[in-house]
Amino acid sequence: MDTDALTAGVLKELRAPHPAPVLSLTMPTHRRAPENAQDAVRLRNLVTEAANRLDADPRISREDAAATKRQLDLAVSELDPRRALDALVLFAGPDEHRIWSLPRTVPERVVLADTYLTRNLVAAKAQARPYWVLTVAADHATLWSGTPDALRPEKTGGFPLTAPREDPNPQREERIGDTPSTFTDEETRTFFRTVDEKLRGVLAADPRPLYLVGLAPALSLLDDVGESAAAAVGRVAKGAPADLSPSRLAAELRPALDAQTVEAAAGVRARLDTARGGKLFAGGLDEVWSAVQEGRVALLAVEEHFRRSARTTGGHVELVPEDEAVTAGDPDVYEDFVDELAEAALDSGAEVVFTVDGALSQYDGIAAALRY
């Protein structure tokens, strides 16, 4: 799965405790040759390590260990190297397996616990900044799921939608199309009400920034008949044919996406400046971690490639020197501490955003606006 499939419902399911430990395997991957040649070897080594850990763990019955190893083998057999991104996450239990490709690197780990290791997924989704695109015309509407790496049509929430055309009148057929008069037609208005209803359901289940693409009369009608269009952060007044390709849609969206990125970055800076002025600000890993632990963070801002290994001692964060040898599985050391922190912040209801590298250099790459 891709990170845009990590809905609140899926995340809740992944975090549900299991009666016996389940397996999480994470490793960095490569998108292209020749670097990706090493991925298969690394994966085989981790699978061997996972099998040995399953057999040696006294908490896991022999039957469950064997079943989990079978699920892990099935997961490996389903991998497609052509779809590799920057990281691979495999989950396996006695009766299931799941595969995630992430656009954000992760440490190499094998973890046995009563829940799956989700913090890499959560941090990757926050960094990927998923968004929705609705392309709409008089007789069809398509919902697209977008990230910086991909844009694809989604079959969810009732989409795609096609307007019913029950009237066999030839004159009615001649009127069908994206002409101004079409959008005053009551059947078209009824169809757009359905589009609005379905879109509101999608946004409620998985809130993301929304972009609208369609001719100006279509977007105006969507405004008139419902509420969903009001949430849009960007609009592209272009025709949206039913066979619109992902590459063409991506090109049409680029100016709106770039403008939103600039606007969002300015908004983050303004919120952090306001927080500093009101003494509701934390900067640096130690201060931010303390605030996250207390549930006081409203906005967590992290530079896109900021990564640190750290240990927590007495409620404070201590960075692990790069030349220090760390024992694999050491419970006191977080190899991916930033991902751990991001997941904890999201759990407490904070908003997590990733900024361009250098934007938070005066705070060592991480800062937060606090609730109190």
Closest to 228 in 3D by CA, of 263, 253, 192, 175: 192
Q: What are phi and psi of 77, to 5 degrees?
A: -65, -25
Query: What pLDDT, on a 0 to 100 scale, did the predictor assign at position 106?
Result: 84
Q: What are phi and psi of 325, to 5 degrees?
A: -75, 130
pLDDT band at 317 (very low <50, low <70, confident <90, very high): confident
Model confidence pLDDT, tens digit, residues 292-304: 999 999 999 998 7
Which residue bears the tokens 């790496």?
149
CB of 134 closer than 8 Å to CB of 362: no
Query: What pLDDT, on a 0 to 100 scale, did the predictor assign at position 178?
Result: 57
pLDDT band at 40 (very low <50, low <70, confident <90, very high): very high
**Alpha-carbon separation of residue 343 from 294, 334, 340, 349, 351 (angstroms):** 14, 13, 5, 10, 10
Mean pLDDT score of the chain:
87
Best-predicted range by mean pLDDT among 226-230, 325-329, 359-363? 226-230
**Poorest-pLDDT segment among 66-70, 207-211, 259-263:** 259-263
Query: What pLDDT, on a 0 to 100 scale, did the predictor assign at position 172?
Result: 47
Q: What is the 3-state secondary structure (H, E, C) of 79-112?
A: CCHHHCCCEEEEEEECCEEEEEEECCCCCCEEEE
**First and final C-alpha spacing in the chain:** 37
pLDDT band at 175 (very low <50, low <70, confident <90, very high): very low
> Can you tell me the mean pLDDT for 215-236?
94
Query: What pLDDT, on a 0 to 100 scale, did the predictor assign at position 330?
Result: 59
CB of 159 closer than 8 Å to CB of 166: no
